[in-house]
């Protein structure tokens, strides 16, 4: 994100007041619209020669183009741009931000547990999508080489894998420098789509009538089952629509809306209409209608431009995976992971090595396993349509219980889009045997990990709280008997009640207490950013004992030493050279106690052992940290 200051919820921006609308729109083109912008490479082709084949004749071409247009209008323009972009959490968007916003307004409400489940499901499905997107995007672009020269077919896989490997290798260096080129390149790409579309529409201008909804209706009336199955490929035209909402915090609501309405959607529809016009004149062009839009001498430059666009789209998805992982860690759905900041100026520029290398391995395996973008298209739709359906459910709860729309208007909106999203999702379920199983498998694994960690943390904190000594009793007893030594001791604990186990163990083994004792709890709130003046709470417990709570937003990285240096209301200024940090490292003992299945307890124990240390995560000075172990049964 561009700053820590909370943006205006009114206009959906987040600290972008100094950036002009044009600059933000240009930036949004490269980040927000990269994925949906590369859909013309394969979407129309797959509806005809994918897993549910259609005759390449005028009636079906008109029907499919009409379906694509109205899918864009309803799902992207109406649902996302018109409604969902309003559901910002202090300027931030995305399913985790929406979940946090709903939970902030829904504590104690009957629907609150369902919001948590929906948010975790959407996050799990996103991980499947973030694996498939780089694979299908890069493959579909490089396959354009076979249109230039058929003999280049054996080079498609090696070139695709080389590009993918290079893309993941540069993540550690950050993307702020090359990111400045993303917007201009993507603008050139969209202008090229529009130009190629117009070039082909001129040859058959009647294709413009495909924008009428009656062609889609006729398609369903004459080929009901085929039209329903075609939805599984038509939805590929709107893959990446979720990014409009997820990346709202980067650019603001209005720049995203303007970019979509004035540049992206017109360019995409001109391209699809151009492909339709091309197919009317030459049905054999269905083998790769995108690249055949261009005259022969321009096809190689088009392959290069399309490849650059797919790399940019893949970069946006990878950055999104880093961002959503950090949010999941902060909100307690994943263990602490090593998070590196690659830009001193931009907080959103982060790099998570574990996620990066895991994605690289899985993307390469996917490319090698499926081999062509057509095969991958079967795997693509389920995660996208599943996430869209979940977004509709969550926004439906927002409309009914937070915004409190008129009941009839709310029912009309929610009912319409639940039916639409369910239809697209159901159509994609038919592709499970052909590759749709992959995102479901990834989603199942991710869902298991997310829920196991959240449940395990809850049970562990419950067990620790049960055995904790009341703070008042401890202070009275320890202050009379323990020897006090100079300096400050900071005991970090996840629970704001009771005596931390590390404090008990330190007194038991070392027989001393420091002159000043801070019981420190870091709380991640359900808003993206918390200003510095609202971050620190200090409670004087007497006898030079203090309980301190540091609050951060789920988009912020905790830096405990930096915050402690500015604390003023707990005695003299805290100096790091006189401060020791005491951490408790729990060893989990799986047991038959009710709470979780034994296999999930073992999985949680493994995740706990492999979590990033609190010392690294909270940026504690390595030479000032003492770890004390304890055993916990859950």
Instruction: Decide: 516 and 571 in contact? Cβ < 8 Å.
Output: yes
Give the pLDDT confidence score for residue 346 in this predicted structure.
55
Res. 396 pLDDT band, cuts 50 70 90: very high
Instruction: Decide: 529 and 556 in contact? Cβ < 8 Å.
Output: yes
Picking from 477, 522, 481, the residue whose alpha carbon sits closest to that of residue 499 is 477
E strand or H helix at 367: helix 353-370
Give the pLDDT confidence score for residue 204 in this predicted structure.
93
Give the pLDDT confidence score for residue 356 in this predicted structure.
93
CA distance 194 to 198: 6
Give the pLDDT confidence score for residue 533 in this predicted structure.
84
Under DSSP, is residue 567 helix (H, G, I), strand (E, B) or coil?
Answer: coil
Give the pLDDT confidence score for residue 344 in this predicted structure.
56
- Among 41-50, 61-70, 153-162, 590-599, the minimum mean pLDDT is found in 590-599
Give the pLDDT confidence score for residue 17 in this predicted structure.
46
Helices (H) and strands (E) in the chain, counts: 26, 8
What is the number of alpha carbons within 13 Å of residue 390 lying toward its C-beta? 25
Picking from 318, 347, 319, 350, the residue whose alpha carbon sits closest to that of residue 337 is 350
Torsion angles phi and psi, residue 523, rounded to 5: -115, 130
- Among 278-282, 436-440, 469-473, the minimum mean pLDDT is found in 469-473
CA distance 377 to 74: 22
CA distance 397 to 309: 36
Res 8 pLDDT > 50: no
What ranges make up the beta strands (E) of 248-389?
340-341, 350-351
Instruction: Decide: 98 and 393 in contact? Cβ < 8 Å.
Output: no
CA distance 83 to 501: 48
Res. 585 pLDDT band, cuts 50 70 90: confident
Res. 9 pLDDT band, cuts 50 70 90: very low
Res. 3 pLDDT band, cuts 50 70 90: very low
**CA–CA distances in Å: residue 57 to residues 34, 54, 192, 278, 632:** 31, 9, 26, 12, 68
CA distance 370 to 127: 18
Token pair for 187:
């603008």
Instruction: Decide: 17 and 217 in contact? Cβ < 8 Å.
Output: no
User: Who contacts 327 (Cβ-Cβ below 8 Å, separation ≥6)?
Assistant: 94, 96, 97, 554, 555
- Per-residue pLDDT of 211-263, as tens digits, reads 999 999 999 999 889 999 999 999 999 988 888 888 887 788 899 999 999 99
- Per-residue pLDDT of 562-583, as tens digits, reads 999 888 888 888 888 999 999 8
Mean pLDDT of 195-209: 95
Picking from 286, 270, 294, the residue whose alpha carbon sits closest to that of residue 68 is 270
Token pair for 279:
């197919």
Give the pLDDT confidence score for residue 597 in this predicted structure.
85
CA distance 516 to 574: 10
CA distance 82 to 85: 7
Which domains does the chain carry? 21-435 (1.20.1740.10), 469-633 (no CATH)
Res 178 pLDDT > 80: no
Res 68 pLDDT > 90: yes
User: Who contacts 217 (Cβ-Cβ below 8 Å, separation ≥6)?
Assistant: none
User: Who contacts 203 (Cβ-Cβ below 8 Å, separation ≥6)?
Assistant: 277, 281
More confident residue, 5 or 220: 220
CA distance 290 to 301: 13
* DSSP per-residue letters across 302-324: HHHHHHHHHHHHHHHHHHHHHHH
- Among 10-19, 111-120, 329-338, 401-410, the minimum mean pLDDT is found in 10-19
Name the burial class of residue 592, with classes exposed (0-12), middle (13-18) and buried (19+) by CB atoms within 10 angstroms of its CB: exposed
Under DSSP, is residue 283 helix (H, G, I), strand (E, B) or coil?
Answer: helix
- Per-residue pLDDT of 298-319, as tens digits, reads 999 999 999 999 998 888 888 8
Token pair for 361:
């391995």
Give the pLDDT confidence score for residue 38 in this predicted structure.
92
Res 14 pLDDT > 60: no
The total number of residues written for the chain in this structure: 634
Percent of the chain surpassing pLDDT 90: 46
Average pLDDT in the chain = 87
Picking from 171, 221, 106, 90, the residue whose alpha carbon sits closest to that of residue 527 is 90
């Amino acid at each position: 994100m561009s700053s820590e200051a909370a943006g205006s919820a009114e206009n959906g921006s987040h600290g972008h007041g100094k950036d002009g609308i044009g600059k933000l729109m240009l930036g949004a083109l490269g980040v927000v619209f990269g994925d949906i912008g590369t859909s013309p490479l394969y979407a129309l082709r797959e509806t005809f020669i994918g897993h549910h084949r259609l005759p390449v004749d005028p009636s079906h071409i008109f029907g499919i183009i009409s379906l694509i247009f109205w899918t864009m209008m309803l799902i992207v323009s109406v649902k996302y741009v018109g409604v969902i972009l309003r559901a910002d959490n202090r300027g931030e968007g995305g399913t985790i931000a929406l979940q946090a916003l709903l939970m902030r307004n829904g504590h104690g409400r009957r629907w609150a547990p369902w919001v948590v489940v929906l948010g975790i499901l959407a996050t799990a499905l996103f991980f499947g999508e973030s694996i498939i997107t780089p694979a299908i995007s890069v493959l579909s672009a490089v396959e354009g080489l076979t249109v230039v020269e058929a003999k280049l077919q054996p080079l498609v896989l090696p070139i695709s894998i080389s590009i993918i490997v290079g893309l993941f290798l540069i993540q550690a260096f950050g993307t702020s420098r090359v990111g400045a080129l993303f917007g201009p390149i993507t603008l050139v790409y969209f202008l090229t789509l529009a130009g190629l579309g117009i070039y082909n529409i001129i040859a058959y201008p009647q294709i413009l009538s495909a924008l009428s909804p009656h062609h889609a209706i006729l398609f369903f009336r004459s080929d009901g089952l085929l039209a329903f199955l075609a939805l599984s490929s038509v939805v590929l035209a709107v893959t990446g629509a979720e990014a409009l909402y997820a990346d709202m915090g980067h650019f603001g609501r209005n720049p995203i809306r303007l970019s979509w309405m004035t540049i992206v959607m017109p360019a995409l529809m001109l391209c699809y209409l151009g492909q339709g016009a091309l197919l009317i004149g030459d049905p054999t062009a269905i083998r790769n209608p995108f690249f055949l839009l261009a005259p022969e001498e321009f096809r190689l430059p088009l392959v290069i431009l399309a490849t650059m666009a797919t790399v940019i789209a893949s970069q946006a998805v990878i950055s999104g995976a880093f961002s959503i992982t950090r949010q999941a860690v902060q909100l307690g759905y994943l263990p602490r992971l090593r998070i590196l900041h690659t830009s001193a100026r931009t907080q959103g520029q982060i790099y998570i090595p574990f996620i990066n290398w895991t994605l690289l391995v899985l993307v390469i395996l996917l490319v090698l396993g499926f081999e062509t973008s057509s095969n991958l298209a079967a795997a693509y739709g389920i995660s996208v349509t599943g996430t869209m359906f979940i977004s509709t459910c969550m926004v439906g709860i927002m409309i009914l219980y937070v915004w409190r729309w008129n009941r009839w208007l709310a029912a009309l909106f929610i009912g319409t889009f639940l039916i639409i999203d369910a239809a697209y999702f159901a159509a994609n379920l038919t592709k499970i045997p052909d590759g749709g199983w992959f995102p479901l498998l990834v989603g199942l694994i991710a869902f298991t990990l997310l829920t196991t960690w959240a449940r395990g943390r809850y049970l562990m904190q419950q067990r620790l709280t049960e055995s904790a000594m009341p703070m008042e009793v401890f202070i009275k007893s320890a202050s009379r008997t323990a020897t006090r030594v100079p300096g400050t001791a900071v005991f970090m604990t996840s629970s704001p009640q009771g005596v931390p186990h590390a404090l008990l163990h330190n007194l038991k083994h070392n027989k001393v207490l420091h002159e000043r004792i801070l019981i420190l709890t870091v709380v991640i709130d359900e808003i993206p950013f918390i200003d510095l003046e609202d971050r620190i709470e200090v409670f004087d417990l007497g006898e030079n004992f203090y309980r301190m709570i540091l609050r951060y937003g789920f988009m912020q990285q905790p830096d405990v030493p930096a915050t402690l240096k500015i604390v003023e209301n707990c005695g003299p200024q805290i100096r790091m050279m006189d401060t020791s940090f005491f951490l408790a490292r729990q060893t989990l003992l799986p047991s038959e106690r009710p709470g979780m299945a034994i296999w999930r307890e073992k999985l949680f124990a493994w995740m706990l052992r492999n979590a990033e240390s609190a010392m690294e995560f909270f940026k504690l000075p390595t030479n000032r940290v003492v770890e004390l172990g304890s055993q916990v049964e859950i």
